[in-house]
Homo-oligomer: A and B are copies of this chain.
Amino acid sequence: MKQDQKSLTPRSTSQSDWYTEVITRAKLADYSPVRGCMVIRPYGYAIWERIQAEMDKRIKALGVQNAYFPVFIPYSFLQREADHVEGFAPEVALVTHVGDKELEEKLVVRPTSETIIYEMFKDWIQSYRDLPLKVNQWCNIVRWEKRTTPFLRTTEFLWQEGHTAHATREEADEMVKAGLDMYAAFAEEFLAIYSIKGRKTEAEKFAGAEYTTTFECMMKDKKALQSGTSHLLGQGFAKAFDVQYLGEDGDKHYAWTTSWGLSTRIIGAIILMHGDDKGLVLPPMIAPTQALIVPIFKAENKDAVAEYISKVEASLKQQGIRYEVDWSENSPGWKFSEGEMRGIPLRIEVGSKDMDAGVVTVVKRTDSQKQQVQLSDLESTLPNLLETIQTEIYESAKKFTNENIIEVSTYEEFKELVNKTDEAVGFVKTYFCGDKDVEAQIKEETKYTSRCVPLETYDQEGKCFITGKPGKLTIFGKAY
């Protein structure tokens, strides 16, 4: 079916128009009639399914088992951990009625599941033999956000949340690290996402955590996106929910707990980190369709083209390459644009000239580079090409991020730099004391927030760029 195919708003004209146009035109998601909730369409959901399948393997490899906990949480549970209720209370959706009957206690639609999970852990954990206890759930989450953007910040989103209990703080620390490392490795290897692992400051940590670790990514507009977090909850929730175990020493101890989550927001990161003015750019590992075959034919040679393409398909199938053939009535040019909009890594054109030469024309999504490939060479060429594209996308993201990290040493320098433009300037690196009030002042005056204290240089100390107190090398950025 012919559709309107006017060109995308360029990223340089309007980042946000570009973003929402890519999402709707690549059919990743659609706005729903419910405020702030999106519909994830089949193409977007196929990406999420691939993320789930791969992450689920990695989560299980950490000795974690999947389970499912109720979507509703009694309101009183939220109140048991003081920071937690303060952080979440304003944005929780409340079920107050069933049919026309009012409930005795209002129920929260889960904004995260620590409270209901630790209430169960209390029963499941008796002695040190029951530890560590590691569970994960894939589920929907509801947080009423003031402004919403598809994938990045929606009233409802999908995620996984891991929750573990341990006998010692050291083991819990290790789990927090294992969770974060798993995320960052997955993002790098699968999604070609370059990220910086670090710790959140006090102002930015999870409500109820002792500390929060994060992996932060720079988008192509130089803004920062927090893409997954792993928290040490310490013994706070264990005390609030009475999660105690009988130790080998015969005494009762509170367990140490962790939680870590990654959501459909990561799809936003893929779009914003890799996309270009033609649309989405999908790394081959995550692309639901890795190759789009476009037949170029007339009525009189359609059968011959189809027969030739069946040979190409046989080869792709054998190599396990995910592909589509677009036999629709649209023009080849329309199909090229559509494949680019959808971020399909390879386009394979098959026309009469190709057939005469016994080749196909293969075009890379990333740089439009064309090459003729003999049918007999498809097997040696295509997998390498996909691997090359995967690497190129990652290296380009890495280079871009590193080119846009700017170090400053005084607040004056910082303000001059970031006030030069309304756009984001990238990641600004400087020593910072981590004080909550000082951070509030920075945010107020510059709109920049601390993104993380990178783990790589965590032990480095210097004078805070504002207070002069001892500080850690910290990255600031304009956050999504």
Contacts and interface: CB of A to CB of B under 8 A. Distances in A.
Interface of A: 1, 30, 32-34, 37-42, 45-46, 48-49, 65-74, 77, 89-100, 106-107, 109, 116, 119-120, 123-124, 126-127, 129-130, 135, 139-140, 142, 144, 155-156, 158
B123 A109 contact: no
Contact of A67 (B33, B45, B142, B144): B45
Across the A-B interface, the 10 shortest Cβ-Cβ residue pairs: A42-B65, A37-B70, A40-B68, A90-B99, A98-B144, A94-B97, A96-B96, A34-B70, A93-B95, A1-B129
A72 B107 contact: no
A69 B32 contact: yes
Contacts of A98: 91-94, 144
B1 A34 contact: no
Contact of A74 (B34, B40, B49, B91): B34
B119 A33 contact: yes
Number of copies of this protein chain within its complex:
2
A126 B156 CA distance: 28
A447 to B, nearest CB: 25
A120 B1 contact: no
A135 B41 CA distance: 9
A304 to B, nearest CB: 25
A99 B91 contact: yes
A147 to B, nearest CB: 14
B95 A109 contact: yes
Given A71-B156, A120-B30, A99 B39 contact: no
A89 B96 CA distance: 15
A354 to B, nearest CB: 28
Interface of A is mostly: mixed
Q: Which of A67, A73, A92, A123 has the most CB of B within 10 A?
A: A67
Given A1-B129, A120-B32, A139-B140, A67 B40 contact: yes
B33 A46 contact: no
A48 B107 CA distance: 26
B71 A49 contact: no
A41 B123 CA distance: 12
A42 B90 CA distance: 32
Contacts of A37: 70-72
Contact of A66 (B42, B69, B72, B89): B42
Given A33-B116, A38-B70, A39-B120, 20 more contacts: A30-B120, A30-B123, A32-B69, A33-B119, A34-B70, A39-B67, A39-B70, A40-B68, A41-B67, A48-B68, A71-B140, A72-B142, A72-B155, A89-B99, A90-B100, A91-B98, A91-B99, A93-B107, A94-B96, A99-B144
A34 B156 contact: no
Nearest to A68: B40
Given A30-B120, A74-B33, A68 B158 contact: yes
A72 B140 contact: no
Contact of A140 (B49, B73, B140, B155): B140
A94 B72 CA distance: 12
A120 B130 CA distance: 47
Nearest to A37: B70
A67 B92 contact: no
B34 A107 contact: yes
Contacts of A155: 72
Q: Which of A45, A106, A155 has the most CB of B within 10 A?
A: A45
B34 A72 contact: yes
28 contacts: A1-B127, A1-B129, A1-B130, A32-B69, A32-B70, A32-B120, A34-B70, A34-B72, A37-B70, A39-B69, A39-B70, A39-B120, A45-B68, A46-B65, A71-B109, A71-B142, A90-B99, A92-B99, A93-B97, A93-B98, A94-B95, A94-B96, A94-B99, A95-B95, A96-B96, A97-B106, A139-B140, A140-B140
